[in-house]
Amino acid sequence: MMIITQKITSLAYEIHDGMFRKDEELTPSQRGLAVRRMPSLLEYLSYNCNFMGILAGPLCSYKDYITFIEGRSYHMTQSGENGKEEIQYERTEPSPNVAVIHKLLVCGLSLLFHLTISKMLPVEYNIDEHFQATASWPTKVIYLYVSLLAARPKYYFAWTLADAINNAAGFGFRGYDKNGAAHWDLISNLRIKQIEMSTSFKMFLDNWNIQTALWLKRVCYERASLSPTTQTFFLSAIWHGVYPGYYLTFLTGVLMTLAARAVRNNFRHYFIEPPQLKFLYDVITWIATQIAISYTVVPFVILSVKPSLMFYSSWYYSLHFAAILVLLLLPVKKKQKGKSIHENVQLSRSKKFDERENSLGQNSFFTTNNVCNQNQEIASRHSSLKQ
């Protein structure tokens, strides 16, 4: 139900953007994903209920799915000699076997870790009365981090298995790199290394449940006129369900995200050089991020109100107060209005795609996919730079 909810709402917005809004009203990412033709009933049901993603997803855009169904995802795009023309030529259909085997190995290790280590480090022990009364603060901090670290492999298992299923069916091919190597991470839902080595709240969220984060960004964050961060976290809580722990986690997440953004914007530029100073900054921010993430998601795991508040009380709501203090003391930089160079380049590429799509008709879905993927990568880099 959660995945189908994402697909229905995503497609609804993409059709609305493509058929009922003017191009100049769209952001570059909305323009790239806009659907210009109403899907048939078969295409609609196939997108929502295909066997590859009916159980665990992950979410994919309608254009990516249709490109795969049309068999037009195995192309490579090169820039022409003038740097502007886009030359497309077909490549041999790549084999997903290596990617699937690698992901199944990750699934096996994650499941093994979950069935062994995770059982020995329950998150609920953080609110055990004896533990709270006898453990020192360093012990509490370390156990909080380790217990939440041990809780993550079950998500790694489910999402990686879902990705492997799609890859085994031939879906998920993102393209070739400059060396001609195939990448099968078009709909990957997580990047484990980046998650565990995150040095900021944003870096963690960008690599955790990736497709859901993109969905929240497309249907809420980019469209919200007032407090988009708060609205996005609230929508995420509603989408997850009715357990109070979800709402406690996402309300806390709003504070942590805004505070982390303020700290990063005000201090990070002082620690870029020399490399030794940047390394020290990365170590400190890694520790702070991992503690903040663990503190934030405890209610998400526990789910109930009383145990969640008991945990926060045992920490004296310290990180809540710290985040509020940061927001009160540090200046928050406003987002710049207007279009940057990245957006202008993206807009020109999107316009070129629209003209090409209109001239080629309904069979030009691969062109859509290539331009859309390029637009998404540029938009992602631009969003990271702004934040």
Q: Which residues are catalytic?
A: 209, 240
Residue 125 is given by DSSP the state: G
Please, are residues 189 and 210 in contact by the beta-carbon 8 Å criterion? yes
Question: Cβ atoms within 10 A of the Cβ of 50, count?
Answer: 17
DSSP code per residue over 19-69: HSS-GGGS-HHHHHH---SPPPHHHHHHHHH-TTTTTT-----HHHHHHHH
Phi-psi region of 313 (alpha: psi -120 to 50; beta: other; left: phi over 0): alpha
Distance CA 305, CA 190 (A): 28
Please, are residues 174 and 186 in contact by the beta-carbon 8 Å criterion? yes
- Taking CA atoms, 244 is separated from 170, 222, 247, 251, 252, in Å, by 39, 26, 5, 11, 12
Letter for the amino acid at 56?
A
